[in-house]
Amino acid sequence: MKIKAAVVNTKGGPFVFEEIDLADPKDDELLVKVVASGICHTDEFGRQGGINQKFPAVFGHEGAGIIEKVGSEVKNFQVGDHVVFSYGYCGNCAACRSGKPFYCDHYNEINFGGTAADGKSRLSKNGEDIAMFFAQSSFATHSVINNRSAIKVDKDVNLEIAAPLGCGIQTGAGTITNIIKSSINSTIAVFGMGAVGLSAIMAANMEHCKEIIAIGGNSKSLELAKELGATHTINRKEVDDIVKSIHEIVPGGVDYCIDTSGFGPMIEKAIKASSFNGSIFVLGSSGIIDSFNIGEDILMNMRTLRGTCEGECIAQVYIPEIIRMYKEGRFPIDKIITVYDFEDIEQAFKDSHDGKVIKPVIRISK
């Protein structure tokens, strides 16, 4: 079928609205009318070349919409169901078979390889392939996705609010609830007050962490962090020594540091701000750090430094949980979302880059 998509034709290029072709869903796939899509920094990472990114490409990996067609082997979805999209995984490797799809052997090729899990793109123009993103490409009026990556949500849930749950929000919140499994007495510092960082703050608040320290460079976002549950805020532009400031709040350092800034020097501070036997989680693409000492900073302090994606969430389990908590007023995702019309996608990216908005969401259809 013909669809309208925001196509990026060259590395770093603009979004161009084009009519392109979308293949019919295969036996295990769904055709979904996209209602809304969140914008995540990973979309910009892809637009700027990402991991061997192919062009032309249609980005977007926080889609949500309404099912219009169901493949013949799909039993758990029907036409008219409302769904949120999440990351792709193969469903067959040892990790997927062990109930850990976030460790899928094929995670990078499925989500960044430009095709669906079978190695073929569902998008084309004049017979030439267009690269997919996260096997969904949600900056378009329609998307074909594998049913494994769809999460059914109640029809009374606003899809503009639910769309970003499929990546950014579950990444931040899931790190707290699924990986740290923090207790009432934990102390946490979150670096970077974008959607991922603020989602981590909301989850830490829900888990009743003892001290929740928000570190960022935007006073408005830090105020919001406080509203969402941070016990302390540190404006990196106003203090000389972030590590010292954290140690003043929690002598000896915090149990867990979460970096969402994706900025090497900030990760170095996170390492030094964590306690003896503390853990540092890296959630953003982070460049190079050249001035920390593995012997002193990691070994002698028995710290753990690890990268993690998607909050290690099984999206089908976790997203309905977040929606329930949102409905109960305990996880106010709407406070971080700004909705833009599809035509204003370029502006939404710019506002996100400039720190004017935290989580832009594109409204694609009603």
Q: How far is the CB of 39 from Zn ion (least distance, A)?
A: 9
Which residues are near Zn ion by CB under 5 A?
40, 42, 89-90, 93, 96, 104, 167
When the beta carbons of 45 and 292 are compared against Zn ion, the nearer one is: 45
Q: What is the largest CA-CA distance in the chain?
A: 63
What CA–CA distance (Å, rounded) separates 125 from 19?
8
Tell how strand 232-235 and strand 254-259 pair up: unpaired
Q: How far is the CB of 313 from Zn ion (least distance, A)?
A: 12
SS3 of 179, please?
helix
**Which tokens go with 138?**
């949600």
Q: Which residues are registered as beta bridge partners of 191?
A: 215, 259
Q: Are 38 and 116 in contact (CB under 8 A)?
A: no
When the beta carbons of 56 and 284 are compared against Zn ion, the nearer one is: 284
When the beta carbons of 146 and 245 are compared against Zn ion, the nearer one is: 146
What CA–CA distance (Å, rounded) separates 75 from 81?
12
When the beta carbons of 89 and 342 are compared against Zn ion, the nearer one is: 89
Q: How far is the CB of 41 from Zn ion (least distance, A)?
A: 7
Q: How far is the CB of 59 from Zn ion (least distance, A)?
A: 10
When the beta carbons of 42 and 53 are compared against Zn ion, the nearer one is: 42
Element containing residue 338 per DSSP (H, E): strand 337-341
What CA–CA distance (Å, rounded) separates 20 from 9?
13
Q: Are 281 and 192 in contact (CB under 8 A)?
A: no
Q: How far is the CB of 92 from Zn ion (least distance, A)?
A: 6
**Which tokens go with 94?**
């040892």
Q: How far is the CB of 210 from Zn ion (least distance, A)?
A: 30
**Which tokens go with 144?**
């074909």
When the beta carbons of 103 and 292 are compared against Zn ion, the nearer one is: 103
What CA–CA distance (Å, rounded) separates 299 from 342?
49
Helix 264-273 with 242-249: angle, nearest 10 deg: 30
Q: How far is the CB of 62 from Zn ion (least distance, A)?
A: 6
When the beta carbons of 96 and 313 are compared against Zn ion, the nearer one is: 96
What CA–CA distance (Å, rounded) separates 139 from 204?
31
Q: How far is the CB of 57 from Zn ion (least distance, A)?
A: 15
DSSP string for 102-137: GG-TTHHHHHHSSS-TTS--SEEETTEEEB-STTT-
When the beta carbons of 93 and 249 are compared against Zn ion, the nearer one is: 93
